[in-house]
Chains A and B, each alone.
Chain A
Amino acid sequence: MDFQIIKRKLEIGKRIDDFLDNVSESGLLFKLGVDSYLKGNVESFEKKLEDITHTENQGDSLRRSLEEQLFMQTLIPESRGDVLELLENMDTLLDRFKGAVWRFEIECPTIPVEMHKDFSELVECVVNAVEAMVRSTRAFFKDVAAVADHMHKVSYWEKQSDKVSTRLQRNIFRQNDLQLSHKLQLRDFVIHVDQIADQAEDVADKMSIYVIKRSL
């Protein structure tokens, strides 16, 4: 064991921070992208689409190099498996944000104006849930005792997004002037976005196990 290991650890800590920045950033881009879409600002939406794709690519390559580094340099052997799973799960959240924006671009759903507010609220709740998850993950690496402070917020925002999602779906199917196909498309969109918060909650549940495993 030499002093290279200190350098490697500082490096890997910074990379994990960068990766989590990407996850957090993708949430913000998703929110801005949906806002632009709802406002009909095509140019801004396309810019956000481009940005989120770039962020996702960056996140992917960071995750891969992190996984490689953790295995090749036998860092944190005891928690390595948990850390790798955590990074994979966080990357899935990033992918889902990108996937949702692309879905808007591909399907171009027509969202009735009276639902814009609820749609924005749903996106807000989902982004907040993921943001709370990002904070929990940062705490997991830096101060394990603080994880609980952020983790309960993930559940809170997931519940909020469930409420908004249910309300939205009910409104969609009570709109008489929409065709069933349109209703089904909108419902799928709502479910797709809401599932990001569900996934964040699943990651939080797994993290609570990692925290117990790390507790002395």
Chain B
Amino acid sequence: MLAFFMSSGLFLGWSLGANDASNVFGTAVGSKMIRFKTAAVWCSIFVVLGAVISGAGASHTLGRLGSVNALAGAFIVAFSAAVSVYLMTKARYPVSTSQAIVGAILGWNFFSGSLTDYHSLTEIVSTWMVCPILSALIAIIIYKGVVFCINTFKLGLFSQDLLTRYGLLLVGAFGSYSLGANNIANVMGVFVPVSPFSDISFYGWFTLSSAQQLFFIGALAIAAGVFTYSRRVMATVGEGIFKLSPVAAFVVVFAHSVVLFLFASQRMQHLLIHIGLPPIPLVPVSSSQAIVGAVIGIGLLKGGRGIRWRTLGGISSSWVVTPVIAAVLSFISLFFLQNVFEQEVYRNVKYALTQEAVARIQKVQISVKGLQPFFGQEFANARRLHDLLSTQKMLRAQDLDFILASTKIENLTLSAPQIDSINRQLITEQAILPLRELEGRVFKHRWQLEDALAEKSLYWRPKKDGRNHNANLAKRIDYICNIFRSEGD
């Protein structure tokens, strides 16, 4: 059953490999600078590495947008995205898996009554717009640099050809790594919250988290797409759609890879924060649109002749059309799977204005006087509670978020076998001690567990200015909540 449900994600991965690998190696293979076999092997290796090593960043952003919490739901989300990609490709639209998956998640949010994080959605959509522009700018800078180098070092025809070949191979590898890191979230991101895998430690050297194992499988599907179907697409890209010289192709692929890497690298984000710059959001972006952006950048540098402005129009409309189609498809398919095939497409998350939750809310000076008639009442999903809260005029947006987080019902049961099953590579024995002290207790809300742990140990306590510490702490709490929740369910 698991394999069946994951098949839609794998199919999406396969189509991503078949289409987007051609963005990375298409021109090189089409212009016969690199043999297809060499390109396919390099592409597959680096896609897998990128996905497993750096795939988590963009996946978290998708997770914030909507946490698909049932396997059948994740299947439909990936399936709807894959079908939308297929339909849009048929209609000759410059389609992006990133846009399709976002639309499909929104469809799931509507269907399951989950709230959409509009902050994440704005972040994602604005990134789509920035992506081709940034790619064009980077392509212009790289192109200028390459021209300067060729003129300064007086490269001969054969030396230039040789360097271009190796250059194409290197940027192709970098591009594949970035593609894996940035786009694996589209393929496997929705399966992360429902991952059936547990973490594997390799003799204490390194640990493959359950998400990384999912990404590995997704990356293999991408690699399968590269080997089985990308050859044809590469030939079309190399010879037809945009006829680029090998040097220009090098610049375009390089710019595309840099953009995808920027929107996927957590290290880069940490570095920017460290030196006091605003962080780049980690969002899955469209590889094809980054390529088109870079080609337009070079076109503009050469005076803007020969740029097909209609392509730009197509890109802008796809920002809206693709997610809408995917969302509608996702919504309808979820309805069918739930009502016709009787599958659980989402795990219902209830909310309740419990005594403890109300006390917590009042403690931070949020007025809940208007909600008094509903104290003790349970709400079927986030939307119901949100609708009620929206009627309370004095509540600000952050107050709503706080109330929702405080009232979410988790029913976390800390039993001995569950505590024993915690991976010691992720959480040390010493950090598990406070959990043992709480053994046998049941926490209705997640924050109650957080407070109880913070009281017992510094390890579980958030720091005032510790952004990294707090982010890691949130990940660890997510991990243990998943373990304790499963028994409650």
Contacts and interface: CB of A to CB of B under 8 A. Distances in A.
B151 A145 contact: yes
Contact of A76 (B34, B151, B157): B157
Contact of A145 (B35, B143, B154, B157): B154
A5 B156 CA distance: 15
Interface stretch (B122-130, B242-250, B420-428, B468-476): B242-250
A140 interface: yes
B222 interface: no
Interface string B108-148: 00000000000000000000000000000000000100110
B150 A216 contact: yes
- Tell me whether chain A's interface is mostly helix, strand or loop, or mixed: helix
Chain B, interface residues (CB within 8 Å), range: 20 to 34
A9 to B, nearest CB: 5
Contacts of B33: 77-78
A113 interface: no
B237 to A, nearest CB: 15
Contact of B245 (A9, A78, A140): A78
Interface residues of A, number: 22
B158 interface: yes
A1 B246 CA distance: 16
A12 B162 CA distance: 12
| Residue of B38, B156, B157, B159 contacting most chain A CB atoms (<10 Å) | B157
Interface in A3-28: 5-6, 9, 12-13
Interface in B143-180: 143, 146-147, 150-151, 154, 156-159, 161-162, 165-166, 169
A12 B35 contact: no
Contact of A78 (B35, B38, B159, B246): B246
B32 interface: yes
B157 A79 contact: yes
Nearest to A213: B245
A74 interface: yes
Contact of A77 (B31, B158, B159, B247): B31
A15 to B, nearest CB: 11
Contacts of B147: 216
B156 A141 contact: yes
A144 interface: yes
A1 B165 contact: yes
A13 B154 contact: no
Contact of B32 (A74, A141, A144): A74
The 7 closest A-B CB pairs, nearest first, are: A77-B32, A142-B156, A143-B154, A9-B158, A76-B161, A141-B157, A216-B147
16 contacts: A1-B38, A1-B165, A5-B162, A12-B158, A76-B157, A77-B32, A78-B31, A78-B245, A79-B157, A141-B156, A141-B158, A143-B156, A145-B154, A146-B154, A216-B245, A216-B247
Interface of A: 1, 5-6, 9, 12-13, 74-79, 83, 140-146, 214, 216
Interface of B: 31-35, 38, 143, 146-147, 150-151, 154, 156-159, 161-162, 165-166, 169, 245-248
Given A78-B161, A142-B157, 4 more contacts: A75-B161, A77-B246, A79-B161, A216-B146
